[in-house]
């Protein structure tokens, strides 16, 4: 998400990514034995593929430290120098710390870098020091600090406050900050984030310049301020409901949540912990030490390395293995097909899937309990009808007891090179939980243009009873979110309409000016949303008018709480907030127009 200041400079152009080739392991055709004089020869029976092994080495881009490892700071600095400004580069890293105490460290995180502890609780791994995100690479502007994460660590910040100045796709999960947390860059420049879950911040959280933020199932000492849209659900110590002034949307609990799977050590054995589902959740899962859930040995995972083929990955899935995607870029000649209930696909270090030839990257069957977490899907140059499909069309099974979760799964169209996809994410399965996603049609980088990285729709929800907690969807050519399922719920939504619309006609939607950022289908009778914001910045044609940010049928059980639309510097305007309700934005003042309750 670029700077909201109209006078800001555009980002430095980063060289186009060199695509990494995939090893296409095609199955050999059956061999026919015998000479031409033989009338017919029966084909040899096809050999069953050799079973793939589970477990294995995590590869060169997973760096594992223990308190006795020499030169930790130097290695952290080396990775940061490489990744600090590599917004569309190919480097991917996971920095893992074994349980213990570390002192004198400052882990600065650049692009595609994840840092995590390997204990069952954040307090098992303590860093007397900082895990820092700042914006020196972009002149103090933090609005492009994407694609990095911190998980499962306790921090004792050197000066009492840790700096985490991030934008989208930068989760802060299962963290214990024994002090304060500053969400703004040095100098308090522009910032546009962000997401915290299952974390405890003993001191104050200071958003300062952060435009919006969502915090879920956590505990905080206090919260300093709000700019446009600060949303809390299940957060002990959250500020009281106050929207629009102060702009706080506060829910006492989160209706349903299930924390992201994570890697941990049991002795010297790597395992993956699967937290259990919670209803009406509040506070952290690890407050009494060991979290509730189950743990799987790494031997039940196919540990994938970049270059492995989609055929092999699907063989592993068919064989009954889960997938652990080590850091790197994976080209897919066919979709990953997840047909088995309770399958886990966990990425490390922003492992990236690129579908080739217009295929869908991931297809999930209508089964219970699939967990997708921690990876990036990057559209390829040939248009994909969809990139991520949760359940087939018409899926209708009840998954309320054991839903599928999509967590820290990010989608990008363009930026690293030309990419196209008609629809990025389609959710057909009932009861799916989308817990923190950023679905982004790139507005800067390589391969960017109104038709160059064409992507009409961001997220389409057809399944009933779907819950989204932390939904970031931006810049699509038409609708960013369309919701056709019944009883859907969204807690926190952040959106920008596409910057690069060439003129009013390009976004005309029948008789309506523009496509809503978030549309609820006409047949929906029950839907609810809390803390939803849409912004416009039509920098190609600032005269463009967007009729509304939100569209929904007018029914008593289709309800919205705390909506806002913002014109960034007067580059385009909204006429209404939702349907025909809400004051227009006007002039060059970047001031939200709000609706507290609808209808």
Bridge partners of 55? 302
What span, in angstroms and rounded, lies between the C-alpha atoms of 312 and 50? 11
Q: Which of 519, 520, 532, 515 is nearest to 596 (CA)?
A: 532
> Which H helix or E strand runs over 473?
strand 467-474
DSSP E strands in 49-147: the ranges are 62-65, 93-97, 100-108, 113-117, 125-132
Tokens of 40: 């017919």
Contact 432, 466 (CB under 8 A): yes
Instruction: Kindly tell me the burial class for residue 105, based on how many C-beta atoms sit within 10 Å of its own C-beta (0-12, 13-18, 19 or more).
Output: middle
In DSSP terms, 469 is beta-bridged to: 435, 491
Neighbours of 432 (CB within 10 A): 26
DSSP state letters, 402-450: S--EEEEEEEEESBBS---EEEEEEE-STT-EEEEEEEEE-SSSBS-ST
450-453-454-458 Cα dihedral, nearest 10 degrees: -110
Beta strand segments in 66-187, E: 93-97, 100-108, 113-117, 125-132, 148-151, 154-155, 161-163, 172-173, 176-177, 180-182
**168: its two tokens:** 């989208």
- Token representation of residue 322: 């889960």
Residue 561: asked if its preceding bond is cis (omega within 30°), the reply is: no
- What is the spatial distance between Cα 558 and Cα 264, in angstroms, rounded to a whole number? 42
C-alpha span between 132 and 182 (Å, rounded): 10
Over the Cα atoms of the chain, what is R_g? 24
d(Cα 541, Cα 27) in Å, to the nearest integer?
A: 52
The answer to whether 474 is a known catalytic residue is no
Picking from 572, 597, 454, the residue whose alpha carbon sits closest to that of residue 514 is 572
Dihedral (Cα; 533, 536, 537, 541), 10-degree rounding:
180
- The phi-psi region of residue 293 (left if phi > 0; otherwise alpha if psi is between -120 and 50; otherwise beta) is left
| Closest to 473 in 3D by CA, of 509, 500, 437, 426 | 437
* CA–CA distance, 497 with 517 (Å, rounded to integer): 7
Which one from 259, 474, 496, 575 is the annotated catalytic residue?
A: 496
CA 491 from chain center: how many Å? 15
Alpha carbons 437 and 406: distance in angstroms, whole number: 8
Q: Which two tokens stand for residue 238?
A: 């959250």
Q: Which residues are catalytic?
A: 496
């Amino acid at each position: 998400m670029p700077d909201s200041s109209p006078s800001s400079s555009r980002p430095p152009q980063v060289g186009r990514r060199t695509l990494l080739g995939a090893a296409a392991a095609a199955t050999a055709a059956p061999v026919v034995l015998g000479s031409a004089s033989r009338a017919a020869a029966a084909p040899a029976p096809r050999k069953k593929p050799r079973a793939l092994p589970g477990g294995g080495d995590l590869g060169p881009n997973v760096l594992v430290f223990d308190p006795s490892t020499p030169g930790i700071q130097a290695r952290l600095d080396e990775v940061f120098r490489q990744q600090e400004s590599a917004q569309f580069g190919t480097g991917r890293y996971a920095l893992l710390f074994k349980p213990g105490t570390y002192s004198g460290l400052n882990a600065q995180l650049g692009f595609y870098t994840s840092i995590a502890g390997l204990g069952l609780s954040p307090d098992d791994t303590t860093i007397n020091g900082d895990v820092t995100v700042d914006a020196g690479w972009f002149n103090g502007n933090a609005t492009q600090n994407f694609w990095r994460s911190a998980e499962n660590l306790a921090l004792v910040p050197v000066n009492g406050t840790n700096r985490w100045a991030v934008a989208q796709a930068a989760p802060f999960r299962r963290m214990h900050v024994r002090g304060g947390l500053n969400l703004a860059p040095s100098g308090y420049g522009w910032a546009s984030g962000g997401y915290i879950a299952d974390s405890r911040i003993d001191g104050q959280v200071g958003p300062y310049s952060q435009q919006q933020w969502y915090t879920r199932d956590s505990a905080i000492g206090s919260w300093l301020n709000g700019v446009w849209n600060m949303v809390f659900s299940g957060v002990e110590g959250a500020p009281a409901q106050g929207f629009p002034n102060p702009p706080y949307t506060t829910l006492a609990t989160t209706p349903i949540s299930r924390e992201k799977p994570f890697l941990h050590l049991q002795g010297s054995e790597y395992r993956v912990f699967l937290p259990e589902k919670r209803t009406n959740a509040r506070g952290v899962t690890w407050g009494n030490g060991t979290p509730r859930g189950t743990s799987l040995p790494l031997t039940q995972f196919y540990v994938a390395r970049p270059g492995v083929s989609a055929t092999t990955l699907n063989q592993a899935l068919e064989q009954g293995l889960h997938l652990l995607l080590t850091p790197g870029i994976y080209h897919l000649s066919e979709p990953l097909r997840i047909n088995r209930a309770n399958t886990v696909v966990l990425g490390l270090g922003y492992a990236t899937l690129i579908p080739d030839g217009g295929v869908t990257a991931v297809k999930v069957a209508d089964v219970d309990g699939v967990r997708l977490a921690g990876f990036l899907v990057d559209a390829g140059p040939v248009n994909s009808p969809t990139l991520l499909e949760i359940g087939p069309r018409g899926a209708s099974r009840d998954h309320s007891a054991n839903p599928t979760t999509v967590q820290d799964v990010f989608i990008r169209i363009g930026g690293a090179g030309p990419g196209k996809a008609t629809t990025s994410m389609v959710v057909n399965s009932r009861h799916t939980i989308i817990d923190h996603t950023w679905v982004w049609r790139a507005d800067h980088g390589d391969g960017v243009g109104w038709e160059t990285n064409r992507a009409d729709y961001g997220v389409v929800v057809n399944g009933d009873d779907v819950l989204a907690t932390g939904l970031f969807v931006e810049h699509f050519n038409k609708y960013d979110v369309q919701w056709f399922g019944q009883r859907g719920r969204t807690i926190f939504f952040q959106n920008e309409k596409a910057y690069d619309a060439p003129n009013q006609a390009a976004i005309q939607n029948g008789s309506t000016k523009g496509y809503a950022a978030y549309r609820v289908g006409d047949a929906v009778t029950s839907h609810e949303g809390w803390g939803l914001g849409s912004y416009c910045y039509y920098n190609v044609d600032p005269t463009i008018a967007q009729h509304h940010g939100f569209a929904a049928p007018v029914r008593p059980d289709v309800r919205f709480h705390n909506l806002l639309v913002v014109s960034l510097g007067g580059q385009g305007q909204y006429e209404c907030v939702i349907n025909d309700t809400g004051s227009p934005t006007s002039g060059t003042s970047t001031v939200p127009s709000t609706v507290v309750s609808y209808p």
